Amino acid sequence: MSIFTRRAKEEAVKGENRLPPGQSLTERFPVLHYGPTVVYPNLDNWDLRVFGLVEEPVIWNWEEFSRLPRTKITMDIHCVTKWSKFDTTWEGVSMKTLIDEGFIKPKAEAKFVVQHCEHDYTTNTTLDFLLLDTVLMATHFEGEPLTPEHGYPLRFICGSKADRSEVEAKYIWKGGKWLRGLEFRADDKLGFWEVNGYHNNADPWTEERFSRGW
């Protein structure tokens, strides 16, 4: 895509009020994460652990996780490093579906969830945020399984709808790559980037990038 085409597309989404302040449109999908890329030779030993303030702790292996109800969503995604990508399509498993259908049963006092990922990476959000229909535990991007660089086999992804009808959005660092655990908590607990100065709320529309003067 030429720079002129990119600029025209950027002006179009800006005119539709879809481009958050300080962001630029990209047609690529930049790779940014903490630690080296995780490559699984196979998924024989992979599992996802659900623990903390839940009625019944759960551990799913890959075969079991793959049988859970599936969801597809299209949304715009925004990175704290100032790029946005539009009309991206993801497939995977919705937290709202898992809770609504009783696969996960949070206790009444559970208000927050910490995502535990490979390399001991963590990030934190409210439980209510994970229940939005612009948040997904994704296995596929644009009809293909995730690549290792983008979190294969499982990552959280979060974004915003084209019509901005969602009640909350966050930069995509709030969706951890190489997801391995979900910890339900009564209190908030800062994750890796949050401890290191990133804003705990991470709203792209108000440019909540950093909690300190970076």
Is 37 domain-assigned? no
Question: pTM of the entire structure?
Answer: 0.93
Is 212 domain-assigned? no
Residue 141, domain extent = 3-28+44-206
Distance CA 166, CA 51 (A): 28
Least confident of 61-75, 101-115, 120-134, 157-171: 157-171
pLDDT digits (tens, 9 = 90+) for 24-78: 999 889 888 878 999 999 999 999 999 999 999 999 999 999 999 999 999 999 9
Is 172 domain-assigned? yes
Report the candidate in 90, 75, 101 with the shortest Cα–Cα distance to residue 150: 90
Distance CA 25, CA 12 (A): 10
Is 162 domain-assigned? yes
Tell me how many domains the chain contains.
1
pLDDT digits (tens, 9 = 90+) for 134-143: 999 999 999 9
Mean pLDDT in residue range 151-167: 91
CATH of the domain at 77: 3.90.420.10
Distance CA 15, CA 213 (A): 30
Rg of the chain, C-alpha, whole Å: 17
- Taking CA atoms, 83 is separated from 23, 53, 99, in Å, by 5, 35, 32
Is 214 domain-assigned? no
Is 38 domain-assigned? no
Q: Work out the number of other CB atoms within 10 angstroms of the CB of residue 107.
A: 11
